[in-house]
Structure 1
Amino acid sequence: MPTLGIAALLDGYFRRRFAAAGLVEASVPLDGGATTVHCWRFPPEADGVRPVLVLLHGFGPPATWQWRGQVGPLSRRFRLVVPDLLFFGGSGTTAEGARTEAHQAEAVAKLVAAVAPPGARVSVAGTSYGGFVAYHVARLLGPAAVERVVIASSDLLKADADDRALLRRGGAERVEDVMLPRSPEQMRRLLQLAYHRPRRFTPGFVLRDLVQYLYSDRVEEKKELIKGITLGNKEKFQLTPLPQEVLVLWGEHDQIFPIEKAFEVARKLGANARLEVLKNTGHMPQEEDPKRFNEAILNFLLPASKSSL
């Protein structure tokens, strides 16, 4: 019997954390079966008192890896819906169309319609690339369906100059070389960019295992997603204020989307947006300081409640 690598063992552990939070795994067919969205969701028999919260992961590992520190505390206050975005995890589509964050948002909106109670208003939280999608979901469905929005570590004003600066920091020639590591060296550099306090040393065989397990699937489709991002293209995308209340969450030492962009994003989102900076964290504050990250979300989404984590 082959020995499981560390990535597979971690994957199993993270999945058990989702199950322990009371979430059930589902594959939801959409678009007449052309699209399938894999998700973890509240069980159908869950009480109807708790509000619905959709968590959207960033570019990279599937949802179980990126939201593992949130599902336990947040599931006590919300009915959670945690999908894998298209071409991540078990989600995918054969439908024709642009591979844009707006296309991702359409799939998320259809998923919400399929699994949330009819007429229920939901809140949406997205990190990094998932923040791009969350913004489009909020704009697509409007305040009648989406009550509040959390945009975490997500530069909605990203432009070509920002990509060039990222490539300089990452020592790479193309964004896909940073976001889709194909070697242990590229994986190590991505971890150094993503975390304010990365591990001092991770063995090469562990990095190789992570690359193989997390970044070897649907590579061409993910490259299309990177190329399809409309942010920064003034002909395809204009950032406008959202009518919903918005919390912009950002790590103080983010090297993917530097902190100065957080202030610009919050200002551009208008009077309904406020910014909270999480000190001593990088691009993944939900992993580096999950307690403060979760408190920020709970205080924003349930302002009248005093939450105990």
Structure 2
Amino acid sequence: MVAFKLAELYPDLVHALVISGSILNMTDSISETNLQRLGFSSSSELLLPSSVKGLKTLLRVACHKKLWFPDCLYKDYLEVIFTNRKERSELLEALVISNKDVSVPTFPQKIHLLWGENDQIFRLELAQTMKEQLVSNATIQGIKKAGHLVHLERPCVYNRCLKQFLASLYEDGSAK
């Protein structure tokens, strides 16, 4: 979402975007629909787990393939990553905007949506809808056997797709 905002505010500084697992705006309807479908009451409950069980659930939702680590690694991860819970929770809740306040800016940049085909958090259909909203300068590419954390699950495929998109910028002469 930050990349979209930077591209909107500073079009001269941002020449192109590659977006993975993010949307233009987290509307209240998208948030509510996704949380209900995933079985959570809030974004904080999903994204800021406080137990090993909660972290395992988050990773199960975020990844296509099941990850296995010893519980001690999950505990260490919880201690290191999920600090400042109150502030992070407030930020997550502040990201959600009303459907009435949504506007899709016109982006002059090329935008490439690089998505895990098995993303359970922001499904591929949501990315396709976003591509249609972004009009003609947006492209979408799905990566098989990958979820929301596509860049971690399929790094070689992801980097190959990224490299192809970046090369296309130079072929078109739009990159400086």
Which has more helix, going by share of residues? 2
Structure ID, larger Rg: 1
Is the contact between residue 114 and residue 140 of structure 2 (CA under 8 Å) also seen in structure 1? yes
Distance apart, 1:171 and its partner CA: 2.9
Distance apart, 1:175 and its partner CA: 1.2
Aligned to 1:249: 114
For residues 232 and 181 of structure 1, the distance between their equivalents in structure 2, rounded to whole angstroms, comes to 25
Aligned to 2:94: 228
For residues 125 and 91 of structure 2, the distance between their equivalents in structure 1, rounded to whole angstroms, comes to 25
Aligned to 1:281: 146
Offset from partner CA, 1:171-217 (integer Å, 9 cap, x none): 32221010111111110100001100022x433332222111111x2
Q: 1:214 is matched by which residue type in structure 2?
A: I
Identity of aligned residues (%): 29
For residues 141 and 207 of structure 1, the distance between their equivalents in structure 2, rounded to whole angstroms, comes to 39
Q: 2:86 is matched by which residue type in structure 1?
A: E
Find out whether 1:208 has 2:75 as its counterpart: yes
Q: 1:204 is matched by which residue type in structure 2?
A: D
- Closer, same or farther: CA 136–230 of 1 in aligned 2, 3 Å: farther
Distance apart, 1:160 and its partner CA: 2.4
Is the contact between residue 138 and residue 242 of structure 1 (CA under 8 Å) also seen in structure 2? yes
For residues 232 and 268 of structure 1, the distance between their equivalents in structure 2, rounded to whole angstroms, comes to 17
For residues 302 and 274 of structure 1, the distance between their equivalents in structure 2, rounded to whole angstroms, comes to 14
- Closer, same or farther: CA 138–257 of 1 in aligned 2, 3 Å: same
- Closer, same or farther: CA 156–285 of 1 in aligned 2, 3 Å: same
- Closer, same or farther: CA 260–185 of 1 in aligned 2, 3 Å: same
Is the contact between residue 247 and residue 275 of structure 1 (CA under 8 Å) also seen in structure 2? yes
Q: 2:93 is matched by which residue type in structure 1?
A: K
Q: 2:39 is matched by which residue type in structure 1?
A: G
Q: 1:226 is matched by which residue type in structure 2?
A: L
TM-score, length-scaled by structure 2: 0.87
For residues 170 and 208 of structure 1, the distance between their equivalents in structure 2, rounded to whole angstroms, comes to 23
Q: What residue ranges of structure 2 are gaps of 5+ in the alignment?
A: 172-176
Aligned to 1:133: 2
Question: What SS class does the counterpart of residue 156 from structure 1 fall into?
Answer: coil
Q: 1:136 is matched by which residue type in structure 2?
A: K
Q: 1:234 is matched by which residue type in structure 2?
A: K
Question: What SS class does the counterpart of residue 16 from structure 2 fall into?
Answer: strand
Is the contact between residue 15 and residue 109 of structure 2 (CA under 8 Å) also seen in structure 1? yes
Distance apart, 1:230 and its partner CA: 4.8
Is the contact between residue 241 and residue 268 of structure 1 (CA under 8 Å) also seen in structure 2? no
Which has more strand, going by share of residues? 1
For residues 70 and 38 of structure 2, the distance between their equivalents in structure 1, rounded to whole angstroms, comes to 20
Offset from partner CA, 1:216-264 (integer Å, 9 cap, x none): x2222211211111555432x4122311111011110001111110100
Higher relative contact order (CA 8 A, sep 6+): 2
Is the contact between residue 117 and residue 145 of structure 2 (CA under 8 Å) also seen in structure 1? yes
Is the contact between residue 27 and residue 96 of structure 2 (CA under 8 Å) also seen in structure 1? no
For residues 145 and 152 of structure 1, the distance between their equivalents in structure 2, rounded to whole angstroms, comes to 20
TM-score, length-scaled by structure 1: 0.52
